[in-house]
Chain A
Amino acid sequence: MTIIDLKPGQCGEIYEMTLDSKIKHKLMEMGMTPGTSVQFVRTAPLGDPINIKVRGFNLGIRRDVAMNITLK
C-alpha cells in the first residue's frame, strides 16, 4: 500500500521510501521520516500532483513520488 492508495481524508504511517536519494533527503528533512503519519488530502484538478498533510502542514508532491512511499 502506498500514499496514492489512500482515500481523501485517510491517514497512513510511512514505512519506506524508495526514491532518488536527493528527493528522499529533502522529504525527510521536511519531516517525512519512517513512522510519520501522512494524510491524503486531495488530488490536484488535473490528477497530479497530490496534496498530503504531514506533521500538521500541507505539502504538494507528485504522484510518481507518492507511489514510491509505502505505508504500514
Chain B
Amino acid sequence: MGHSYALTGNPNSGKTTIFNELTGSAQYVGNWSGVTVEKKEGFIKNSKINVVDLPGIYSMSSSSIDEVIALEYITEENPDGILNVVSASNLERNLYLTLQLMEMKVPVLMILNMMDELSRKNIKLDVDRLKEIFDIQIILTGQNDRKNLSRIKEIDLKGLKSNFARFSYFSKEIQDGIREIASHISLQTLTQYKADPQWLALKIMEGDNKIIEACCAKDAAIIEKAKAIRLIIEKSEGVEFSQLLAAQRYSYLGEIAGQVLIDADGNMDRESVSEKIDKIMTHRILAIPIFLGIMWTIYYITITGLGSKSIEVMEWLISDLFTGAVKALMVTMDVSTWLQSLVIDGVIGGVGAVLVFIPQIMILFFFISILEDSGYMARIAFVMDRIFKKFGLSGKSVIPMLVGSGCSVPGIMATRTLENERDRKLTILLTPFISCGAKMPVYLLFVSAFFAANSHWVVFSLYLLGIVTAMVSGVVLTKVRYKGVESDFILEMPPYRVPALKSVLLHMWDKGKDFLIRAGTIIFAASVIMWFAQSFDLSFQMVQDPSTSVLADFGRLVAPVFAPLGFGDWITSVAFITGFVAKEIVISTLSVLHGVSQGALGSSLTEFYTPLSAYSFMVFVLLASPCFAAISVMKRELGSWKETGFSILYQTGTAYLLSMAVYQIGSLFIK
C-alpha cells in the first residue's frame, strides 16, 4: 500500500518505545521530555507502511521548536494518517493533543498506551465510550503487552473520516468566528495550502504566525478580519484568545474523563508507587546526598571499577593479539618496512589508542540511558533548579548537560526542550564544558601515567572543573551577553518506570557503534594523514626522525602559543589542533607521533610532561572548543555562525586562560 503515517504523542507517553516495537529499528527510548531530537522513521514490520516519529509534544501550537516541527510535518507533508499515542494513565492531558489533531481533520488512529499502569492504579477505562466520542479506532497496549500493535497495519487510515463534533466545545462566539473566517478563505489559498478551511480559520484567528505566513500572508483582508474577531472575543472574555481555547478544550476533556474513567475503589488520588519513591528521591534532606551518591557510583564504576578491567582486556586484544597477527601477515606478504610502519604505527597505533576505551564509553552510556529511561533525570532537574537558577540557568539545563556527559551532540540537541530562548542558547554554549565520553580516554591515559595512585580523584576534579566552569560562565555570560529575561522552569515529572533492558542495551550499543564508526573512519583517516605528515619533510623526502618532518615544522610554528601552558613541543601543539576533529584523536595523535603502541604510550609520555603540565594538558582538552560534530550541531541549533563563532572563541579562550593559570600558579608551588 505504501502509506506514510506520522507518530505523535505527549512526552513520556511511551511513544518512542512503540515506535521501536512497530518498526523494530534500533531507536533509543527515553523518559524525560523530548527525547526524540532527531527525525526517525522506519517501516512497520512486514508492511510497506512508513512511520515518521515526530517529537513528543503537549500541544499543536507553534510555541516550541518541537511543536513547529510536528505541525509543519503534518500540514506540509500531508501524511496519510496520524498514529496518536495516548497515555491512559494521564488521559486528560494526552487527549488535549488528540483533540487538536481531530480539529485538523486528519485521519487519526489512537494507540492507547500504559493500560497496565492504569489498572495498577485500579482505574477502569470505558474504551467503547471513548471510541464513540471521537469516532475513531483505538488500539490498546501496555508496557508488557504489545501484541495489539500488529493490528495497525490491518487498518487503512487514508481517507478515513470521523464524525467527531469538533469545535462544539468552544463558545458560540468562537464557533461563529471560525465559520465566518472559513467562508472567506479563498479557493486559491486552499488549493495551494492543503488544509481544512475551518482549522485554518481557527489558526488564523489564533494569530499563529507560522501558519499565517505559510498559507495566506498576502491575504491581508482575512488576517485583519480574523484579528478583529479575536479582539472582540478577547475583550468580552478578558482572556487571551489562545488561553480561552485551552480552557474550553480542557473543560470538555474534563467531561470526557468523567465519562470514560471509572475508579474501581473510589480513590482516584491514591498515592502511587512512583510518588512513594519520590518521597525519598526528592526528600528535603536525602535528595542531594542520593543524587551525589548515584553520580559518584556511576562515575566510579566507569572510571575505576569495570572500566579499568576493560582497558586491560582491550590492550591485550589490540597490542598483543591483533598487532602481532597483522605484523606476521605483512611479513609473509613481503610488505616494505615503511608501509609496515604506516599500518602498525599509523593505523593500528592511532585507531587502537581510541578503541581501547570504547567499552568504557559504552558503560558510561549504559548508565546515562538508565538515568533517562527511569525518569530520574527529571528529578535531578527538579532538585538542582535552585542552584542552576543562581547561575542564570534553568534546572532543565541539567538534562542536556547530563546527556552531554556522554556526547555533546545529543546534549546540544536536547536543549530543544527548553522553551526559553535565552536559557537554550546559554545551555548550548555551556554543554560542551561538561566533559564528554570522547574526552574521557585522554584523562584515562594521562592519569594512568602520572597519577596512578589516586586516578579517580584526579579525573573527578576535571569533571568538577568542567561543571564549575559552566556555572561561572553562566553568571558571566548572563551579565555580559544574555541579559534580560529570567530563566524558566516548568517540567513534567513522569512516573518512575523500570527501564526496559532491551532499550538500554540498544542505546548503549547505538552509541558504542557511533564511536566505533568514528574510530574506523575519521580517526583512521586522521591517523593515516598524520603518519604521512610526520614521515616526510617539505621536499617530500622520507625522514628518519619525525622531528624534521613537515608536521614538526608546522607544530613548532604553533608551539610558542602553547608555551605558557607548560608545553612548547611540536607534538602537543599538533595534538591540540587535531583535537578539533574529534577529542579522541588527541591520543591517536600522541600515539602516532611518539611512535609507540597503546600499551607503551603512558611511559613515553612521562618523558615529555611533568604531572603539572599533564594536568594543564587535560584542562585544555576538557574546556577547549568541542569537536567538529558538536560545532556543526551548535551552528544548526543556534542558527548563526556569529553565535557559534563566539561560543568557540569563548570556550577556547577559557581553556587557554585556565590551563595557563593551572600551570603558572602550579609552578610557583611545585618545582
- Contacts from A to B (Cβ < 8 Å): 21-31, 33-36, 39, 41-49, 51, 53, 55-62, 65
* Contact yes or no, B489 A29, CB < 8 A: no
Bitwise interface map of B from 431 to 450 toward A, beta carbon under 8 Å scored 1, else 0 = 00000000000000000000
Bitwise interface map of B from 482 to 506 toward A, beta carbon under 8 Å scored 1, else 0 = 0000001111111000000000000
* Contact yes or no, A31 B96, CB < 8 A: yes
Determine the distance from Cα of A44 to Cα of B279 in the docked complex, in whole angstroms.
11
Judged by a CB distance under 8 angstroms, whether B180 is at the interface is no
Q: Given A56-B92, A57-B93 in contact, is the A44-B243 Cβ separation under 8 Å?
A: no
CB-nearest residue of chain B relative to A34? Answer: B247
Determine the distance from Cα of A25 to Cα of B389 in the docked complex, in whole angstroms.
22
Q: Which of A26, A33, A44, A47 contacts B490 (CB 8 A)?
A: A26
Contact residues, B263-306 vs A (CB, 8 A): 268-269, 275, 278-279, 282-285, 287-288
**What's the dominant secondary structure at chain B's contact region?**
helix
Determine the distance from Cα of A21 to Cα of B288 in the docked complex, in whole angstroms.
33
* Contact yes or no, B382 A46, CB < 8 A: no
Q: Tell me the smallest distance from the CB of A7 to a CB of chain B, in Å.
A: 14
Q: Tell me the smallest distance from the CB of B506 to a CB of chain A, in Å.
A: 27
Excluding A21-B240, A60-B382, 16 further A-B contacts by CB distance (< 8 Å) are A25-B242, A29-B96, A31-B93, A35-B251, A41-B275, A42-B279, A45-B383, A46-B386, A49-B489, A51-B493, A56-B91, A59-B490, A59-B492, A60-B378, A60-B395, A62-B389
* Contact yes or no, B489 A45, CB < 8 A: no
Q: Given A31-B93, A31-B250, A45-B282 in contact, is the A26-B489 Cβ separation under 8 Å?
A: no
Q: Given A45-B288, A60-B385 in contact, is the A29-B61 Cβ separation under 8 Å?
A: yes
* Contact yes or no, B419 A25, CB < 8 A: no
Closest 9 CB pairs of A and B: A46-B386, A28-B246, A33-B247, A58-B493, A29-B59, A45-B287, A33-B250, A60-B382, A60-B491
Residues of A within 8 A of B96 (CB): 29, 31
Determine the distance from Cα of A36 to Cα of B608 in the docked complex, in whole angstroms.
67
Determine the distance from Cα of A21 to Cα of B494 in the docked complex, in whole angstroms.
25
Q: Which of A22, A30, A34, A41 contacts B492 (CB 8 A)?
A: A30
Q: Given A22-B419, A58-B493, A60-B381 in contact, is the A49-B386 Cβ separation under 8 Å?
A: yes
CB-nearest residue of chain A relative to B242? Answer: A25
Residues of A within 8 A of B522 (CB): none
* Contact yes or no, A61 B275, CB < 8 A: no
- Contacts from B to A (Cβ < 8 Å): 58-59, 61, 63, 89-93, 96, 240, 242-243, 246-247, 250-251, 268-269, 275, 278-279, 282-285, 287-288, 378, 381-383, 385-387, 389, 395, 419, 488-494
Q: Tell me the smallest distance from the CB of B259 to a CB of chain A, in Å.
A: 15
* Contact yes or no, A62 B493, CB < 8 A: no
* Contact yes or no, B283 A31, CB < 8 A: no
CB-nearest residue of chain B relative to A23? Answer: B488
Residues of B within 8 A of A21 (CB): 240, 243
* Contact yes or no, B250 A44, CB < 8 A: no
Task: Output the residue of A22, A33, A34 with the most chain B CB within 10 A.
Answer: A33
* Contact yes or no, B282 A26, CB < 8 A: no
Residues of B within 8 A of A49 (CB): 382, 385-386, 395, 489
* Contact yes or no, A25 B243, CB < 8 A: yes
Residues of A within 8 A of B251 (CB): 33, 35
Q: Tell me the smallest distance from the CB of A70 to a CB of chain B, in Å.
A: 15
Q: Tell me the smallest distance from the CB of A17 to a CB of chain B, in Å.
A: 9
Residues of A within 8 A of B386 (CB): 44, 46-49
Task: Output the residue of B58, B387, B493 with the most chain A CB within 10 A.
Answer: B493
Q: Which of B59, B63, B269 contacts A39 (CB 8 A)?
A: B269
Residues of B within 8 A of A61 (CB): 489-490
Q: Tell me the smallest distance from the CB of A54 to a CB of chain B, in Å.
A: 8
Determine the distance from Cα of A25 to Cα of B491 in the docked complex, in whole angstroms.
14
24 pairs, CB–CB < 8 Å, chain A vs chain B:
A21-B240, A22-B63, A26-B419, A29-B246, A30-B58, A30-B492, A31-B92, A31-B250, A36-B250, A41-B275, A41-B278, A42-B284, A45-B383, A49-B395, A56-B89, A57-B90, A58-B493, A59-B490, A59-B491, A60-B395, A61-B490, A62-B389, A62-B488, A65-B490
Determine the distance from Cα of A46 to Cα of B641 in the docked complex, in whole angstroms.
38
Q: Tell me the smallest distance from the CB of A31 to a CB of chain B, in Å.
A: 5
Q: Which of A24, A56, A60 contacts B489 (CB 8 A)?
A: A60
CB-nearest residue of chain A relative to B243? Answer: A28
* Contact yes or no, B385 A44, CB < 8 A: yes
* Contact yes or no, A30 B93, CB < 8 A: yes
Determine the distance from Cα of A9 to Cα of B419 in the docked complex, in whole angstroms.
29
CB-nearest residue of chain A relative to B279? Answer: A42
Determine the distance from Cα of A58 to Cα of B387 in the docked complex, in whole angstroms.
21
Determine the distance from Cα of A25 to Cα of B239 in the docked complex, in whole angstroms.
11
CB-nearest residue of chain B relative to A48? Answer: B386
Q: Tell me the smallest distance from the CB of B574 to a CB of chain A, in Å.
A: 46
Q: Tell me the smallest distance from the CB of B235 to a CB of chain A, in Å.
A: 16
Q: Tell me the smallest distance from the CB of B471 to a CB of chain A, in Å.
A: 15
* Contact yes or no, B387 A46, CB < 8 A: yes
Q: Tell me the smallest distance from the CB of B71 to a CB of chain A, in Å.
A: 14
Q: Tell me the smallest distance from the CB of B403 to a CB of chain A, in Å.
A: 19
* Contact yes or no, B240 A48, CB < 8 A: no
Q: Tell me the smallest distance from the CB of B304 to a CB of chain A, in Å.
A: 29
Residues of B within 8 A of A56 (CB): 89-93, 268
Determine the distance from Cα of A33 to Cα of B89 in the docked complex, in whole angstroms.
20
Determine the distance from Cα of A41 to Cα of B118 in the docked complex, in whole angstroms.
21
Determine the distance from Cα of A41 to Cα of B284 in the docked complex, in whole angstroms.
12
* Contact yes or no, A48 B381, CB < 8 A: no
Determine the distance from Cα of A55 to Cα of B93 in the docked complex, in whole angstroms.
7
* Contact yes or no, A51 B250, CB < 8 A: no
Residues of B within 8 A of A27 (CB): 490
